[in-house]
Amino acid sequence: MHEYDFIIVGSGAGGLSAALHAAKHGKVCILTKRMAAESNSSWAQGGIACVQSDQDSIEQHVSDTLIAGAGLCKEAAVRTIVTDGPQRIEEVINWGVHFDQKEARDGHLEFDLTREGGHTQRRVLHARDATGKELTEKLIAAVRADPNIKMLENHFAIDLITTAKLDLVSEDRVLGLYVLNEISGEVETFRSDRVILATGGCGRVYLYTTNPRIATGDGVAMAWRAGAAVADMEFIQFHPTCLYHPQKRSFLITEAMRGEGARLTDKEGTDFMQKYDARGTLAPRDVVARAIDSEIKRTGAPCVYLDISHKPAEFIIEHFPNIHEACLGVGIDITKEPIPVVPAAHYQCGGVLTDLNGGTSIRGLCAVGEVGSTGLHGANRLASNSLLECLVISDRAVKHMIHKMPVGKPAEQGYTIPAWKSGNAVNVDELVVIYHNWDEIRRLMWDYVSIVRTSKRLQRAAARLRNLKREVQEFYWNFKVTSELLELRNLVETASLIVECAIRRHESRGLHYTLDYPELDESRPPASTVVRRY
């Protein structure tokens, strides 16, 4: 058994920053199922939204977030995260993170802020078009330099261990995790009174996504199985502009490009966004994604186009060097021609239900970043608020844990945590079955539960997912666990939660748009969809 003061699952911005805060108070272990640099955070292109300009204000940032969230944001969460933001930005700069700067009129350097859809001011800090990479690389370096932090790569968290699971008569609280050591192939026990989930999102539930291979909803599925409340999983944000090309199916074209003047057009070069929203290309993501989906269905075209070629080539290459290089690699010169784009699953706005400190319904368990649902995003995330949430909530989660459960003072004594038992399980002999089920889940979610939904499609998805869950459970109990099997198990659980929440919402709000209920439900105040296993 491995014992730590803090165990953090995930190596994105939320997990890494939480580890650096926690290391001031005790021994920390970061578990990550692949290499440390593989996370949703590292793929983030746009930047971090944070008030930094005299022309901007906290009130404006709060207002923009509430408007984008379509009535479901928790204003206390929005105000807290936006207000705490500048201090967290200063902190990551001290950890070595560099944001682009420019020379001001008086000659001194200031942040080169950009603007994205839904923002009324320039407030997005960025490092060219690879902000997430810059942020996570510097945080990983700081983590590796801290003697109080141990990073265990290729360690896949299987399930949470709680008092309820051990049938102990006490308050339900977390005790640790069972973890697959993918190097040895053995399942090991990790013990801690303080566990932070920072596993990111679930984009791989869908056939087309901007997310990396690791985004399989692991944290939500683990927390759900442990009995934690889950909220608002019907709100899956589809990024409007994913590169449409067979060689690069998951390549995101940052919203910052639209913030710098790129236009969405049809194949004839006609700007179509004004037909759908007065804000045009800079409308919030849910509006733009639905508009693109409508144009594709109306015209029968496979994609639409994002055109920034009217800007000087030097400006484009300086601001978007990675996108320029990636597109050149598939024969598209964005300084001279438009980029073919389609929407793709990008971000889960719901997740494990938390308070403002990342605290869940299970004592000792916190969730930070995309895996958690603080109420910041509501029914639709405002662009570049996600990394801000990671930094703010990770800090608050550690402070909350230290206050509630001081290190060195165990919450309770006398636990006997059993070692993992494989029973009569044998090695998986036919991975093809796992891969087939994986593909089926992703396709049915894309066909039935994507940008535009209907009750009939949702019911069909729910019926098939029930059958798939039975098949996956049979595999899980009969075969020794592997990363492929664990990801499939989490994928089907997360997909089922998305569908369950979508079925329960009888209105169209934010990212959840259904043809059967195309209007807002004005008969009652807006409310989150909260589900519990027991």
Residue 210 identity: T
Query: Measured between alpha carbons, how far is 241 from 133 in angstroms, rounded to an integer?
Result: 19
Query: Measured between alpha carbons, how far is 290 from 275 in angstroms, rounded to an integer?
Result: 12
Of the candidates 474, 466, 476, 473, the one whose C-alpha atom is nearest the C-alpha of residue 441 is 466
Of the candidates 414, 425, 378, 405, the one whose C-alpha atom is nearest the C-alpha of residue 527 is 378
Please work out, in degrees rounded to the nearest 5, the angle formed at the alpha carbon of residue 391 by the alpha carbons of 385 and 397. 120
Per DSSP, the three-state class of 350 is coil
Asked if residues 389 and 369 have their Cβ atoms less than 8 Å apart, the reply is: yes
> 3-state SS string over 276-287?
CCCCHHHCCHHH
Q: What's the Cα-to-Cα distance from 291 to each of 250, 274, 278, 287, 299, rounded to whole Å?
A: 20, 10, 12, 6, 12
DSSP element (H, E) containing 160: strand 155-162
Query: Measured between alpha carbons, how far is 366 from 197 in angstroms, rounded to an integer?
Result: 6
Q: Pinpoint the alpha helices (H) of 95-235.
A: 131-144, 218-226
Q: What are the φ and ψ backbone dihedral angles of 131, each rounded to 5 degrees?
A: -60, -45
Q: What's the Cα-to-Cα distance from 388 to each of 132, 148, 254, 511, rounded to whole Å?
A: 11, 25, 17, 21
Query: Measured between alpha carbons, how far is 44 from 133 in angstroms, rounded to an integer?
Result: 7
Asked if residues 16 and 37 have their Cβ atoms less than 8 Å apart, the reply is: no
Distance, first Cα to last Cα, the chain? 29
3-state class percentages of the chain: helix first, strand second, coil last, to nearest 5: 35, 20, 45
Q: Tell me if residue 285 is catalytic.
A: yes
Give the active site residue among 285, 290, 505, 509: 285
Query: Measured between alpha carbons, how far is 157 from 180 in angstroms, rounded to an integer?
Result: 6
Query: Measured between alpha carbons, how far is 508 from 520 in angstroms, rounded to an integer?
Result: 5
Locate 366 and state its tokens. Answer: 């916190």
Give the catalytic positions in this structure: 285
